[in-house]
Structure 1
Amino acid sequence: MDVKEILAHCDHTLLKQESTWEQIKAVCDEGLKYGCASVCIPPAYVKQAADYVGNDLKICTVIGFPNGYSTTEVKVFETEDAIRSGADEIDMVINIGWAKDGRWDELLEEIKSVKASCKGRILKVIVEACLLTQEEKVELCHIVTEAGADFIKTSTGFSTGGATREDVALFKSNVGPDVRVKAAGGIRTLQDAEDFIRLGADRLGTSAIVKLVKGMEVQGY
């Protein structure tokens, strides 16, 4: 698979707590240079980044991140604030405890509420697959589909595990035709990226792929 094609699937990501504006700006520069799908950055930097890149790069940010257990009202407020600041895409974390409790109706309503707050922007729903049973993963595929979200996303990258090939294949097989899959967490090689795309991931949440490509350029590949 062509490297440019892989990069076009990447949400170039920097979500470390200690991230500075200079680091965020560098990620934006890289996202622009390498033709990434978006940059995924902390909410506090969304307005500054949106002003910096203009209409040349999509800005993605996170809601209820990384634990997912803030209230629905807080997630809605966070989403509205992010959209006002210029976010083009929202990656929200579900209440994982509700999934473990089988509170599917509440999860459905929460995702619907956040989707409505997106005002037409893309919504990706992070389900933190490493904490779920197979049955819970399948049920969440149905919930995310019913809620009208645009993507189901495997992981925050801040829990006990990241994306797996098995989970991407499972999600692709169980979401509706209008829901895409985002693999995130632990995508460290071009082979990883290509595998996930071939299994059905439309987006990759990663900081490593651009670094790899930059390294290849330095080495003259």
Structure 2
Amino acid sequence: MIHPKTEIKHISDEVGYGVFATAFIPEGTIVYVKDSLEITVTPTDYLLYSKEMQDVIEKYSYIDEQGNRIISWDFAKYVNHCCNCNTISTGYGFEMAIRDIFPGEQITDEYGIFNLEVEIPLICGEKSCRKKVSPADFDSHYEEWDGKIKKSISKLFDVDQPLIPLIDTETRAQLDQLFKDPAAYKSVYSLRNKNSLKSHLPQSMNGRSDVAENLDLT
């Protein structure tokens, strides 16, 4: 579920739709939670669909750490990628604002965390644009993403959180532990698809069992 203080707008024929803030959303705010209404398409289920339906699923889903494709029931599926995104997925399964988001500003995300299976060209517009997102991005950028999350997640306990009731009890316990001990931080790498991890693990991580265990497209 997307943050309630948002709306969907058409941006252009090239980009399609996007999600925009309707009120101030401070840094540290949870902006998306996978709730019980989200549609889960397992790898086997995906193979049973026609090519036309697979294309639709690919367009509006992200792949979780179990290899399932998750499709949002609301307009969270229209959040666009930006290489200078203002929200990001966390190891706790929710997405969080990593800087203040102002009314009328587009909510943007990091697609590299979505366990991509193919390369996707970008229409980003940022000077820092990578020009594409690819399956290799997770391993190349997760430490950078962790740095951004760590900077903002401490503010999670100081701002209004309308989506906090949707967080499951296990994750709440993990957040309570984080509040007591910042060293208990859970890396975004925990979202890495475990079914594809072994084949994509870079040489520098060989033997790192601690790492190995530990899409919304318009």
TM-score, length of structure 2 as denominator length: 0.25
TM-score, length of structure 1 as denominator length: 0.25
* Greater RCO, 1 or 2 (C-alpha within 8 Å, sep 6+): 2
